[in-house]
Amino acid sequence: MKGVVRRLVLIPTLLFGVVLSTTQAAQYAQNQPAAAPTTSAATGPVDENVPPPVPGPDPATAPSSAYPPTSVYGSAKKANLFHVKYVSEGAIYLDGGSNGGLEEGMILHLVHADPNGGTTDAVRFQGQDPVADIRIFSVADSSSAAEVIKSREDMVAGDIAYLDMESVHAREDKMNAAESENYPIVVTFSYGDPLDEEIRATTVSEKHGPPVENQMRGRIGFDYGFISEPGGAGTRQVGLLVDADMSRIGGTHWNFTGYWRGDLNTQNSGSTSGISSATLNDLLNRTYHLGLYYQNPDSIITMGIGRLYLPYAPSLSTIDGLYIGRRFSTRLTVGVFGGSTPDPTSWSYAPNQNIAGTFVNYEKGDFEHLRFDDTFGLAITSIAWHIAREFAFAENTISVGKLFSVYNSLQIDAARTALGGATYGTGLTQSFSSVRFQPISLLTFDLNDNYLRSLPTFDPALISTGLLDQYLFQGLSGGVQVQLPHRISISTDIGRSKSSTDTSSSWNQMYGLTFGEIRNTGLQLDLRYTKFNSSFGQGDYQFVSLSRSIADRFHVGVEGGIQHLNSTFSANSFSEFVTSTVDWTIGPRYFFEGLFTWNMGNVMNYQQANFTFGYRFGGALRK
């Protein structure tokens, strides 16, 4: 009888011990990060065709909040607010990664942090117009990198990023699905003592990556506009607007993003030539990008088609065409590209010009530490199908986190005879170098050197827009940017200009003042002044921009500029413009845009009005 009692007591005790130990083991296994692949006889070599994610911060210096105690799909509540660690050209780096529940493709909105440190999760529901919208494209354990979808003003380190509601819901769905899978299962054997051979373990099926999610957001609208010129000449324009943010189309790795605006039909009246001259807005429309991209981290192929940059060498300017690259390892990519060159802000712009070439890109390191990014290639341009240039190009960047960076782009031409009869020997044609030092997030120093062997051929009508600032200073220049309290930013750039054709050097000056918000009014103000003396001419310009957003429904802005240019290759010596814009979201699915431009000068004199009505789709749009 005592043996039976002891056995009845022993059985529950053993069962409780087994359950407790296996449950703790399962929880420990769930909370461990996935082991990095290594080379061994069992697993084989590392797959070098898969690009590494953006590394996280140094565990010795990172705050404990950067490493949550639970796994990505654990039961702990995930944060919805993150901080901007670093802002670079075209990318934003956050202090949260997969440990915080972030994944590739998620959408976040940026707002400026409360200077008193009072920003809370409630900022998501206050209806405040975000500074920018970003989408994550690379994720590490405790950091991530995102591309800028739409920016309404300058972004700075310390800004707050909060998850879009759709991304929050998608993350919660994944957490719930993962939790439902991680429960103990019972496995029994058909032989032996069940008390000894019954085990409990967590699910052991192979874990694949999260399901591919597609996001379809965008706007499409029809334009109607007219242009009136002195003497009764006029132009009517019917056009199309496309503003797309479509990722993982149909569950694939194809993305369609960007902005495009163009004319479908143009009718002229009162003009003897029958051809209307390009307006300032027409030129600006050719600087926007819209492309279809294939970006699969598990594929050796990457490509893009549309109006876009070659991502490995953006110094080549915009192309209407395509690029295709093949990854030979995580660091080495080889590819080809080709298309026309529509961007009038390019230093080597020419109508009816085409370009084709090949490139090799080598990349090593990460954005948190030492990083190398080097591209070399060969290209050829043609005008009306006659060879114009044959050149080699290089673009190199060395950076140490956000503290220090060195950048250089250059082009070396083969000897040639231009269409006009001018001859050029083999040599360096263009070079731009920049050294940037940021000791603290509020203070940035830069030192630049710009060299052009021949006269640039950009459209000088765009000088007052600020898009040509890089080419206005030729020679050595230095600048500083200071972020002040109350979202005020001051910048200046001063240098002495001298090209290979100048007999003496001259001073260049550039000043900028930005108010992110004027005394809680919601008004944003941007002021710029530049005086330049370069190989293509001398002059100055002033620019001012004032804008205001009301929630996320209504945006109004006005900007103006005055430019003076004394140049032998342009008759447009004086020009001033004023442009006003209105962007109004009507209900959850429609929008209206209005634009009016007044331009007066010795060459360009016109008034232009443009109205757009269209449909917007995708996203959590409120009624």
* Statement: residue 481 has pLDDT above 70: yes
| CB neighbourhood size of 400 (10 A) | 13
The pLDDT, as a whole number, for residue 173 is 66
Q: Which pLDDT does position 206 carry in this prediction?
A: 38
3 state DSSP class of 495: strand
How would you classify residue 392: left for phi > 0, otherwise alpha for psi between -120 and 50, otherwise beta? Answer: beta
Q: With 90 as the cut, is the pLDDT of residue 158 above it?
A: no
What pLDDT score was predicted for residue 121? Answer: 64
- Residues of the chain with pLDDT > 90, as a percent, come to 28
**Per-residue buried b or exposed e for 555-579, using 16+ beta carbons within 10 Å of the residue's own CB:** bebebbbbbbbebeebebbebbbeb
DSSP helix/strand/coil, 472: helix
Domains of the chain (ranges, CATH numbers)? 1-30 (no CATH), 64-181 (2.40.10.340)
Task: Provide the pLDDT for residue 191.
Answer: 38
Tell me the CB-side half-sphere exposure of residue 121, using CA atoms within 13 A. Answer: 6
Is residue 211 predicted with pLDDT exceeding 50? Answer: no
Q: Can you tell me the mean pLDDT for 539-549? A: 90
More confident of the two residues 9 and 227: 227
Q: What is the pLDDT of residue 51?
A: 39
Residue 616: closest CA among 56, 217, 211: 217
Band (78; pLDDT cuts 50, 70, 90)? low
Taking the alpha carbons of 365, 367, 369, 370 in that order, is the dihedral positive or negative? Answer: positive
Q: Which residues of 283-309 are buried (b: 16+ CB within 10 A; e: fewer)?
A: bbbbbbebbbbbbebeeeebbbebbbb
Burial class (CB in 10 A: 0-12, 13-18, 19+), 404: middle
pLDDT at 430 over 50: yes
Selected residue with higher pLDDT from 440 and 209: 440
The radius of gyration of the chain from alpha carbons, rounded to an integer in Å, stands at 29
Q: How large is the average pLDDT for residues 336-358?
A: 91
The chain-wide mean pLDDT, for the chain, equals: 76
For residue 72, pLDDT beyond 70: no
- What is the pLDDT confidence band of residue 128, given thresholds at 50, 70 and 90? low
Percent of all residues in the chain with a pLDDT value above 70, rounded to a whole number: 73
> What tens digit of pLDDT does each residue of 357-405 get?
999 999 998 888 899 999 999 999 998 888 889 999 999 999 998 899 9
Return the closest-CA partner of residue 290 out of 219, 238, 359: 219
pLDDT tens-place string over residues 236-294: 889 999 999 888 888 888 999 999 988 877 777 665 454 556 777 788 888 888 999 99
Residue 7's H or E segment, with its range, is: helix 2-31
pTM of the model: 0.63
Helical spans, DSSP H, in 93-189: 165-181
The continuous run of DSSP H or E covering 30 comes out as helix 2-31
* Extended strands (E) in 414-487: 416-417, 423-424, 427-440, 443-452, 475-484
Residue 214: what pLDDT? 63
| DSSP one-letter string for 526-575 | EEEEEEEEETTEEEEEEEEEEEEEETTTEEEEEEEEEEEEE-TT-S--EE
pLDDT band at 507 (very low <50, low <70, confident <90, very high): confident
In this predicted structure, the answer to whether residue 615 has a pLDDT above a threshold of 90 is yes
